[in-house]
Amino acid sequence: MAKREAVIVGVADVPLKDGKVLTPMSVLQAQALAARDALADAGIPMREVDGLLTAGLWGNPGPGLLPTVTLSEYLGLVPRFVDSTNIGGSAFEAHVAHASMAIEAGRCEVALITYGSLQRSEVSRNLAGRPSVLTMQYETPWGAPTPIGGYAMAAMRHMHEFGTTSEQLAEIAVATRKWAALNPGATMRGPLSIEDVLKSPMISDPLHLLDACLVTDGGGAIVMTTAEHAKALGRKAVHVRGYGESHTHWTTAAMPDLARHIAAEVSGREAFAMAGIGHDAIDVVEIYDSFTITVLMTLEALGFCQRGEGGAFVSGQRTAPGGAFPLNTNGGGLSYAHPGMYGIFLLIEAVRQLRGESGERQIKDAVTALVHGTGGMLSSGATCILSTR
């Protein structure tokens, strides 16, 4: 019997207008609609789903404490493989890894990965810290705006050690906005200059409002199965060539080095080793952009540039449309959408790029994509390398 190979065969996201779902809905409804559309994209009926993976901040405390349990009930599924790994916004890159292992081990045939959030419609987000229990009793009382304060302290340290500047961080926000301008589904599409970013209100030094991701709704789903199954369906398969995951801390003071994204170093190293390819083989890169500094530190951690050289790497709009290094081609969390945990949308955009479905923003002849999610306070990293070959 030939070896089973896991592939991505369907993706979908819930349409947004001004960062909100088009009609009022529940967070379970958003995930069901995304699942329906991703399964339709794959050509697989819902009843064939036997692997269910999700993570979220919804319904918590309450039914969201056991998210796959609640979601399988809602969808009318009885899965034989489940995973509700939650390591922050990178959880979905880890889910693709775990679903790949499960499919290749024969533990499920069709895996469905979902995410949903109505945080914009529900106005549920503020900068307050986590409940000050267990490890957080040593951090929450100090009033760091959350999560931006932790990222700000990382940025401050990176600037101190390497001379990274606010202008260099702003380059990322500006380049990402140029990609959003090419994406009709993006929330923020108007022109943006480096000066605009620097003049936007300082939230937590040295990070400005426009160094930070949006606060939007969002729902997304991914369907995975075997390459053989995808071929029988006549669908274009996106192969999972490599993956890796890690985490180092959640409290800011426990981050081993505030100027270094070690979780991404580990996950990236694992993913590249498994894929057996070098950085030059990557055509398009989707990196979690909760904040501009997240992108810069992740580029260094993944080895696209040396430590401390991230600022120079992104200068001169190198990551913008037409630049040497196409990055965050849907407009990212900074300008497309950021519904709390953004990682699933990085994967959806990478799949669309590899299938040649990205319209005006399409990277010509894109064959291989790197997707990297970061969660918590630069806490977790999960990397996937995807390819059409």
Phi, psi of 127 (to 5 degrees): -95, 10
Q: Binding to other proteins by residue 294, rule CB under 8 A?
A: no
Query: What beta strand segments (E) does 273-379 contain?
Result: 284-287, 368-375
Q: Binding to other proteins by residue 146, rule CB under 8 A?
A: yes
Q: Binding to other proteins by residue 359, rule CB under 8 A?
A: no
Q: Binding to other proteins by residue 200, rule CB under 8 A?
A: no
Q: Binding to other proteins by residue 195, rule CB under 8 A?
A: no
| 104: nearest Cα among 241, 6, 2 | 6
Q: Binding to other proteins by residue 131, rule CB under 8 A?
A: yes
| Choice from 22, 65, 105, 134 touching other proteins (CB under 8 A) | 134
Residue with tokens 């064939």: 48
| 297: nearest Cα among 267, 259, 248, 254 | 259
Please report, as a single letter, which amino acid is at residue 232.
Answer: A
Q: Binding to other proteins by residue 105, rule CB under 8 A?
A: no
Told to judge if 288 belongs to the known catalytic residues of this protein, a careful annotator would answer yes
| Choice from 205, 273, 316, 324 touching other proteins (CB under 8 A) | 205
Q: Helices 292-301 and 262-275 meet at what angle, rounded to 10? A: 50
Which token pair is 252? Answer: 């800011």
Q: How many CA atoms lie within 13 A of 180 on its CB side?
A: 24
Distances (CA, A) of 196 to 18, 200, 208, 276: 20, 6, 10, 41
Q: Binding to other proteins by residue 156, rule CB under 8 A?
A: yes
CB of 147 to other proteins, least distance (A): 10
Stretch that binds other proteins, among 149-157, 189-197, 305-313, 357-365 (CB under 8 A): 149-157
78 burial (CB, 10 Å; 0-12 / 13-18 / 19+) is exposed
| 377: nearest Cα among 269, 248, 215, 285 | 248
| 152: nearest Cα among 173, 166, 138 | 166
Q: Binding to other proteins by residue 262, rule CB under 8 A?
A: no
From CA 262, how far away is CA 289, in angstroms rounded? 16
Q: Binding to other proteins by residue 144, rule CB under 8 A?
A: yes
Stretch that binds other proteins, among 75-83, 198-206, 283-291, 349-357 (CB under 8 A): 198-206
Q: Which of 115, 243, 288, 342 is catalytic?
A: 288
Q: Binding to other proteins by residue 368, rule CB under 8 A?
A: no
Stretch that binds other proteins, among 63-71, 94-102, 151-159, 327-335 (CB under 8 A): 151-159
Are 158 and 302 in contact by the 8 Å Cβ rule? The answer is: no
| Choice from 28, 94, 153, 378 touching other proteins (CB under 8 A) | 153
Told to judge if 138 belongs to the known catalytic residues of this protein, a careful annotator would answer no
CB of 200 to other proteins, least distance (A): 12
Q: Binding to other proteins by residue 23, rule CB under 8 A?
A: no
Stretch that binds other proteins, among 139-147, 322-330, 353-361, 369-377 (CB under 8 A): 139-147
From CA 215, how far away is CA 125, in angstroms rounded? 8
Distances (CA, A) of 313 to 50, 286, 297: 43, 16, 11
| Choice from 31, 114, 252, 380 touching other proteins (CB under 8 A) | 252
Phi, psi of 81 (to 5 degrees): -135, 130
Distances (CA, A) of 63 to 39, 289, 341: 24, 29, 18
Q: Binding to other proteins by residue 142, rule CB under 8 A?
A: yes
Q: Binding to other proteins by residue 201, rule CB under 8 A?
A: yes
Q: Which of 115, 151, 243, 336 is catalytic?
A: 336
Stretch that binds other proteins, among 93-101, 156-164, 187-195, 278-286 (CB under 8 A): 156-164
| Choice from 86, 90, 114, 204 touching other proteins (CB under 8 A) | 204
Please report, as a single letter, which amino acid is at residue 334.
Answer: L
CB of 48 to other proteins, least distance (A): 45
Catalytic residues: 288, 336
Q: Contact positions toward other proteins, by CB under 8 A?
A: 126-129, 131-135, 137-146, 149, 152-154, 156-157, 160, 201-207, 251-254, 258
